[in-house]
Chain A
Amino acid sequence: MSETTVVNNGVNVEALLGAREALSEAPEAAKFLWRASCEWKNGTHSKTSVEGYFGLGSEQVHKKTFSFDADHPEVFASEDNGATPVEIVLVGLASCLTAGIAAVAQHRDIQLRSCKATIEGGMDIQGILGVDADVRNGFDGINVHYDIDADATPDEIRALVAQSQKRSAVYDIVTNPTNVSVEVN
């Protein structure tokens, strides 16, 4: 092919690289604080909203407030007003990895045509129900499957997916321990 095509996955890589350079000069501006506020509705139903966060040295706000209903399904005798919290964790992981794939592809001049993930987390609920103390509460494993159509060799596509895991915040949060402190007023 003699014609050159411009790769466009809708990711502004120049801006990201510029930010990386600027932040390595001013590491304080790289400190972000992400927030969500959650309010109990009824039963296992809660509504969480996300609006402001701190970053680049000052308070920031999203273009609008996003809200998320969480609940449990009817098999748990709940009303099923929203996804379960563990499903929302899967949402976070899949969307983080997918965003990463698009960004890495853009940086490597690879045009994505389609990129679909299915994600599954296995869980033995004997853990959360306290039936068996040897069973952990959380997922016993997570499997992600990607179907990607892109202008690249299979190994280049595998490398995109691997690199995206390497740079993903949610992947890190899920695979590595994090200190969590919970206080009550």
Chain B
Amino acid sequence: MVTSRNVTCVIIGAGHAGLAMSRCLTELSVDHVLLERGEVANSWRTERWDSLRLLTPNWQSRLPGFKYQGENPDGFRDMPEVIKFIDQYANFISAPVETSTRVTSVSSSESGYKIITNQGEWRCKVLVIASGACNIAVVPNIAEAVSYKVNMLTPIQYKNPNQLADGGVMIVGASATGTQLSKEIQLSGRQVTLSVGEHVRVPRVYRGYDIKWWMDSTGILDERYDDVDDINRARRVPSLQLTGSLDRGTLDLNTLTGIGVKLVGRMVGMRDDKALFSGSLKNVCSLADLKMNRLLDNIDEWITNNDHIVGINPRERFLPTLIENSPTLEINLTENNIKTIIWATGFRPDLSWLDVPVLDRKGQILHEGGIVNFPGMYLMGMQFLRRRKSSLIDGAGDDALDLSKHLKAYLDG
């Protein structure tokens, strides 16, 4: 007979989001367990490319009761450092983590939830889903029309340029992932063509301070989900074009064209061996330039109203994105020796194990600031869950604090 273990709360996923929630539940004396498919910080261990560094500075990864103590607050952690940091946090809070425990099904029962894993069954009253926003790489349907001769990869499979064939590489998507891979692969000696749709351009450093410092100080990252005009749109905003490098350099499209990357419009189809691109490249770049300037205007205005900040450089504006007059609308992959396509076209969570009717018609979980539309179910770590910073390590603390209070009140009836 199958025995099931009982606990008040199950947290699925022991990354930074699940751990932040664990800490808050401990503070509220709610007994709980974290079910982790691999080890603590599993996605960071297994689903990232080798050279990746965190896009937020060291000082910014603040978790409840824990922060950076080292000597390089403005640096960017590499992956071993991120894993170590999250591991240290798990130890620091004595998180009750069950590792190597893969959840295969979650269903509702009279008293709460039944969770089936490869290590047995659990029953709980409340459930926190903290299994990550980026488990699955989204690949558009046009990939099906690409010739078998072209090798296709997602960013989850990509580790370093050595795994790529010699020859050209087309990278589809110009957000944080696409722009970082474009730089690394172009510098490896392979000609990169970057397909650019809507994107968010920002300088790494503005007026002497990191852009994330400005976004934090001015309150932009604290903007709440119920204070923005259109939360669905805010949740779909592409990631900022940023890289965490030792030289704190900006990674925008001008940087990439400067090292020889070719820009084309959003990829819209394949016709025989030809990739087709939208003629909207100029407009998406113009939208991004205007949005960046509005952000910088807001920072400038904030500086004017907060004259106590020291060491600020003069106001500056950056060159508009340089686009050739008539960008290429089609590229024959064979004739242009393109051997690899990397689909940097976004990610989505894997909720295939969730047998509770909480998904909308597009497969997205229905929730109000992390409070799922089902009694006693909570969500963590998603894009703009409760605040603009919700998807950052730094955003997990405030969300966990809010949601753990709601969860405790729910338990107390």
Query: Which residues from chain A sit less than 8 Å from chain B, CB to CB?
Result: 27, 140-141, 155, 158-159, 162-163, 165-166, 171, 174-177
Contacts known (A162-B286, A177-B268, A177-B269); A155 close to B280, Cβ less than 8 A: no
Instruction: Tell whether, in the assembled complex, residue B287 and residue A141 are in contact, meaning their CB atoms are under 8 Å apart.
Output: no
Could you pull out 10 A-B pairs where Cβ atoms are within 8 angstroms? A155-B294, A159-B287, A163-B287, A165-B283, A171-B280, A175-B278, A175-B279, A176-B279, A177-B268, A177-B276
A176's contact among B271, B278, B326, by CB below 8 Å, is which?
B278
A contact residues around B294 at 8 Å (CB): 155, 159
CB B218 to nearest CB in A, in angstroms, measures: 19
CB A150 to nearest CB in B, in angstroms, measures: 15
A176 to B290, CA, bound (A): 23
CB A142 to nearest CB in B, in angstroms, measures: 8
Contacts known (A177-B268, A177-B269); A159 close to B283, Cβ less than 8 A: no
A158 to B283, CA, bound (A): 10
A159 to B292, CA, bound (A): 12
Query: What 0/1 readout, one digit per residue, does chain B (179-221) give for beta carbons within 8 Å of chain A?
Result: 0000000000000000000100000000000000000000000
Query: What 0/1 readout, one digit per residue, does chain B (294-337) give for beta carbons within 8 Å of chain A?
Result: 10000000000000000000000000000000100000000000
If over half of A's interface residues share one DSSP class (helix, strand or loop), that class is named, otherwise mixed; here it is: helix
Any A CB within 8 A of the CB of B293: yes
A166 to B361, CA, bound (A): 25
A contact residues around B279 at 8 Å (CB): 174-176
B contact residues around A177 at 8 Å (CB): 268-269, 271, 276
Summed over the interface, the residue pairs from A and B with CB atoms below 8 Å come to a total of: 36
B contact residues around A171 at 8 Å (CB): 280
A118 to B340, CA, bound (A): 42
CB B300 to nearest CB in A, in angstroms, measures: 13
The 8 closest A-B pairs by CB, nearest first: A175-B279, A165-B283, A162-B287, A176-B268, A175-B280, A159-B290, A175-B278, A176-B278
B contact residues around A163 at 8 Å (CB): 287
A176 to B308, CA, bound (A): 50
With A162-B283, A177-B276 already in contact, 9 other A-B pairs whose C-beta atoms are closer than 8 Å: A158-B290, A159-B290, A162-B290, A165-B283, A166-B198, A166-B283, A166-B287, A175-B279, A175-B280
A136 closest partner in B (C-beta): B329
Instruction: Tell whether, in the assembled complex, residue B290 and residue A155 are in contact, meaning their CB atoms are under 8 Å apart.
Output: yes
A contact residues around B361 at 8 Å (CB): 27
A88 to B276, CA, bound (A): 25
A contact residues around B286 at 8 Å (CB): 158, 162
A24 closest partner in B (C-beta): B232
B contact residues around A174 at 8 Å (CB): 279
A31 to B74, CA, bound (A): 51
CB B284 to nearest CB in A, in angstroms, measures: 8
CB B366 to nearest CB in A, in angstroms, measures: 13
A154 to B254, CA, bound (A): 23
A166 to B291, CA, bound (A): 14
A159 to B280, CA, bound (A): 15
A140 to B361, CA, bound (A): 40
A158 to B287, CA, bound (A): 9
* Most chain A CB within a 10 A radius of its CB, from B198, B280, B294: B280
B284 closest partner in A (C-beta): A166
A contact residues around B283 at 8 Å (CB): 162, 165-166
B326's contact among A141, A162, A165, A175, by CB below 8 Å, is which?
A141
A contact residues around B278 at 8 Å (CB): 175-176
A contact residues around B198 at 8 Å (CB): 166
A140 to B280, CA, bound (A): 14
A164 closest partner in B (C-beta): B283
A162 to B276, CA, bound (A): 22
Instruction: Tell whether, in the assembled complex, residue B268 and residue A165 are in contact, meaning their CB atoms are under 8 Å apart.
Output: no
A17 to B280, CA, bound (A): 26
A155's contact among B265, B268, B271, B293, by CB below 8 Å, is which?
B293
CB A92 to nearest CB in B, in angstroms, measures: 15
Query: What 0/1 readout, one digit per residue, does chain B (141-153) give for beta carbons within 8 Å of chain A?
Result: 0000000000000
A155 to B294, CA, bound (A): 9
B361 closest partner in A (C-beta): A27
Query: What 0/1 readout, one digit per residue, does chain B (229-273) give for beta carbons within 8 Å of chain A?
Result: 000000000000000000000000000000000000100110100
